[in-house]
Structure 1
Amino acid sequence: MVSRVIPVDQFDLVIFGGTGDLARRKILPGLFRRFLSGQMPEGARVIGAARSDLDDAGFRDMIGQAIEEFGGEETADKDRLAAFLECIHYVAVDATGEGGWAQLKDLIRENVVRAFYFSVAPSLFGALAERLHGHGIADRNSRLVVEKPFGRDLETAKALNATLAEHFQEDQIYRIDHYLGKETVQNLMAVRFGNILFEPLWNNHYVDHIQITVAETVGVGGRGGYYDKSGAMRDMVQNHLMQLLCLIAMEAPNQFEADAVRDEKLKVIRALQPVDFHHIVRGQYDARGDEPSYREDVENPRSHTECFVALKCQIANMRWSGVPFYLRTGKKLKGRTSEIAVVFKDLGHSIFEGDEKRHRNILAIRLQPNEGIDLQVTIKEPGPGGMRLIDVPLDMTFADALGDDVDEATDAYERLIMDVIRGNQTLFMRGDEVEAAWAWTDPIIEGWQTRNDVPKHYDIGSTGPEDAMMLLHRDGRRWREIKG
């Protein structure tokens, strides 16, 4: 089987914050992989822009070291790495002043795709957008990539959207969420809308409930200062989990086109009902041995910020009325798992005498680790002794099923950056999506503050607070296992 790769046009990609951690760990190693795969056309250029006083040679040395550290096995090809580094340039730019902008304008070419990646704090977005416009560096055909957080509440999200809209049209703005670049997330739409097997069953007549879990084994690490002001609700639920919820619940768009897809996602967010505070659990991990607690990690002994959230929500529309969606995310948990599980209803009647076990079909979409999809089905247990039923998965791990056609090294960032160059906004959030998500999230956070809600404590290496288990047990259901 031969993969068909859509080519990209000639481009200049400017990375503001080009010396930062994200550029070094993700963006530039990802672009090197696209270079190796032949997706970067000959002559394409990547321009780093930051405050550091570097020249092209100094920046290339920095990026070469970063690629060797974070790039994987492909960095063994030193000749190809050297050829890629020849595509790299650097300009020292003052984001809030005038230094370096004339040099950047002279370096940018005419008649190529111009893309600008804002890998900087949101407080600099306005200054950068204003100077790109004022110096004539960005034109109507330019593209702007912005990283989350897209605000910290509805008010700041609106202000951020308004700032960007002063100099860029909505069809030029690419709000990047790397979760949407994962192979399995994109396959959600293929599975749902490309197979007649599932679409007739994708509703409240056949689906009992849906679980979305993003579990991490790591703590807050060096992000303590940021994270303690944000928390899991802002950092994960409002964007990553919300987007997964939209993709699993949305109606079929009339075509696979950016605004058609995003229109349907927006309808899901607007149909989300307010969440009762009894249906939300917040948590913080405790210390274990030499491993510090959350409060020690963020150096705030009185912190009430959550690093774990579990909640039950409902979508008020004809398709999903009565079907609960259970969302769960947390740090320092038992295992690293990102999964969407569609749990179908029980059979109305079993014809098999003596079979008292509940058998359910479950479609599980694994985002990490080992991206893939499996469908749990009920079969006869092999061997003599009568009709004994067992549940087994029909497993499609992409690397096993597709072999060489799966590029395991491909990172979500590099897929999405190539979509920017192609001008495809399908997997990027629109401004009204972001604002609608905050409009649903804000009352939950405000409710915690009003009630002076205190997170429940849980053990490192567990599945989270006991109250999160009860969230499903009260409904006669159970969370799927987080595997260590």
Structure 2
Amino acid sequence: MKDLSGNAPVTSTSSRRGEAGASPRPDDHVIVLFGATGDLAARKLLPGLFHLAAVGLLPDRYRVIGSSRRDISDAEFRERAREAIDRFGTSKPTGETWQAFRQTLSFASASPGDTTALGAAIRRAERDVGGSPRRLFHLAVPPAAFAPTVTMLGAAGLAHGSRVVIEKPFGTDLRSARELNRTVGAVFDESQVFRIDHFLGKESVENILAFRFANGLFEPVWNHRHISYVQIDVPETLSIEGRAGFYDQTGAYRDMIVTHLLQVLGFLAMEPPTALDARHLRAETAKVFDALRPIDVRHVVRGQYSGYRDEPGVAPASQTETMAAVRVEIDNWRWAGVPFFLRSGKKLGASRQVVTLGFHEPPLRMFPIGETDTPDGRNEIVIDFADPGSITVDLLAKVPGAQMRLGGAGMVFRYADSFCAANSLEGYERLLLEAMLGDQSLFTQAAAVERLWEISSPLLENPPPIQPYAPGSWGPQPSVDQLIMPFRWRLPHAGSPRD
């Protein structure tokens, strides 16, 4: 199967995990998007589904039903979809491909007290598809609506045999995560539940597995004997973008670190799985989470950018952090004594998604060090997992000249330079495909979610005071730099191929 440009086939995650032949296609489906008139549907879900259709990775027969509490016509929903795909999509809504996709779209309102229209729309879509199509529900709704929507599906008799994709954050603390898991578990079996984290759908995050386990050069040094620190740094230049109602109740730690960065940590730190399937991958990341020590609030910096309290909808005396930096430790043999530093926040100095693994310095310095491109002349592996992604190995080499003087050098792999970009799928696109295929490898388990909230409890129950920082900076100084001493943050001190 080729993409529209005639390039080589798009390869799905499942086929890369060992299936031979062409990319697998899902069974026939009826896909229901709750929150279909919202921002996530416009930016990611509708463009993602259309791109999957354009590259031939949707089922042979399918229907897409948009749903929300407000009622709009099928025609209006189709026009909204066209505008969203045109603005945010990789594939543009033109030609026969768009006309075919457009005909699959319909809309039905639903609320916990009234699912009549939705039920009728699903039955009609299933008749149109024919046979016994699968159902996939995607809950692109506010977190407060997760439980009522799941309960509504159960009460309406729509859960049996269906799959459900639930957005983050899955709970706001251990108690709420457990309650939500109980609610979901009363309606759906765990095998039907897909807790989505779009970071795990990124090609460059998955490439961490290939980089580690497919190359004998790196796996032997991926441990405390060789690595002295790890950073997972995801700063953003954006403000809260009008999401005060959500963000002021959530903050940077809940919004990014516990839901995204700790999941990436699981991929970085896991032991080699015996197979790249859901059971083995999730078992190994669960072991990492079990070995995480509870967050020590002495090793946390919470910042709030100046002017945050002036944002519309933010409480005048808000104590919500817009930046969080945390040191975490994994209490196992591979990572004993290695600090992991996680940082994310709004209105910081750059928008980046970078993992840095710093190696121990050689015990004997026989070379004079000149000006280098790496912090303190250190050897580092730098994984930039912002699409399209890159991997850099920083090292020291002799500077040309009469004297023995060292300078920084790097070996660089760039996705954009190495593979056909048309073959790539954006994170949501890959995860939508995996959910239709029933592959839970890149989705989080109930127990893992609860464990991450459990190790977060000391911070959530007794957070350190927030500290102000200037928009465009890298967080409160000197606190954020003191947190990582005797090391230093790669950003902004050293660049990467994307700078």
TM score, norm. by length of structure 2: 0.89
Question: Does 1:124 find its partner at 2:164?
Answer: no
Instruction: Indicate how the Cα distance of structure 1 residues 353 and 361 shifts in structure 2: closer, same or farther if over 3 A, else same.
Output: closer
AA aligned to 1:454 is P
How far is 1:122 from its partner?
A: 3.5
How far is 1:187 from its partner?
A: 0.7
CA distance in 2, matches of 1:353, 1:48: 64
Match of 1:470 in 2: 482
Match among 47, 71, 94 for residue 53 of structure 1: 71
How far is 1:45 from its partner?
A: 1.6
Match among 106, 113, 137 for residue 158 of structure 2: 137
1:276-355 aligned at under 5 Å gives the runs 276-286=296-306, 293-297=307-311, 298-352=313-367
How far is 1:349 from its partner?
A: 2.0
Question: Does 1:207 find its partner at 2:227?
Answer: yes
How far is 1:285 from its partner?
A: 0.8
Match of 1:12 in 2: 30
How far is 1:136 from its partner?
A: 3.5
Match of 2:284 in 1: 264
CA contact (8 A) 2:173 2:460 kept: no
Instruction: Indicate how the Cα distance of structure 1 residues 20 and 96 shifts in structure 2: closer, same or farther if over 3 A, else same.
Output: farther
Q: Deviations over 1:409-463 (max 9, x none)?
A: x321111000001111000000001000000112111112xxxx42111111111
Match of 1:66 in 2: 84
1:359-438 aligned at under 5 Å gives the runs 359-368=377-386, 370-382=388-400, 384-404=401-421, 406-407=423-424, 410-438=425-453
Match of 2:106 in 1: 89
Report the more deviating stretch, 96-105 or 110-119. Answer: 96-105
Alignment gaps of 5+ in structure 1: 287-292
How far is 1:392 from its partner?
A: 1.3
How far is 1:272 from its partner?
A: 1.4
How far is 1:368 from its partner?
A: 1.9
| 3-state SS of paired residue (2:385) | strand
Report the more deviating stretch, 217-226 or 296-305. Answer: 296-305
Report the more deviating stretch, 75-84 or 180-189. Answer: 75-84
How far is 1:55 from its partner?
A: 2.8
How far is 1:353 from its partner?
A: 6.0
Paired positions, count:
467
| 3-state SS of paired residue (1:463) | coil
CA contact (8 A) 2:319 2:466 kept: yes
Instruction: Indicate how the Cα distance of structure 1 residues 336 and 122 shifts in structure 2: closer, same or farther if over 3 A, else same.
Output: closer
1:72-111 aligned at under 5 Å gives the runs 72=90, 74-75=91-92, 77-109=94-126, 110-111=131-132
Match of 1:27 in 2: 45
Match of 1:455 in 2: 466
AA aligned to 1:301 is P
CA contact (8 A) 2:369 2:406 kept: no
Root-mean-square deviation over aligned CA pairs: 2.0
CA contact (8 A) 1:96 1:128 kept: no
| 3-state SS of paired residue (1:481) | helix
1:203-242 aligned at under 5 Å gives the runs 203-242=223-262
Q: Deviations over 1:296-355 (max 9, x none)?
A: 125322111101111212111111111111111111011101111011111122443677
CA distance in 1, matches of 2:28, 2:407: 55
CA contact (8 A) 2:369 2:407 kept: no
Match among 130, 133, 146 for residue 112 of structure 1: 133
Instruction: Indicate how the Cα distance of structure 1 residues 134 and 312 shifts in structure 2: closer, same or farther if over 3 A, else same.
Output: closer
CA contact (8 A) 2:231 2:356 kept: yes
Q: Deviations over 1:365-421 (max 9, x none)?
A: 101265111111222223x212221121211110112245653xx321111000001
Instruction: Indicate how the Cα distance of structure 1 residues 131 and 462 shifts in structure 2: closer, same or farther if over 3 A, else same.
Output: closer
Alignment gaps of 5+ in structure 2: 1-6, 12-22
CA distance in 1, matches of 2:210, 2:297: 35
Instruction: Indicate how the Cα distance of structure 1 residues 43 and 217 shifts in structure 2: closer, same or farther if over 3 A, else same.
Output: same
CA distance in 1, matches of 2:482, 2:331: 24
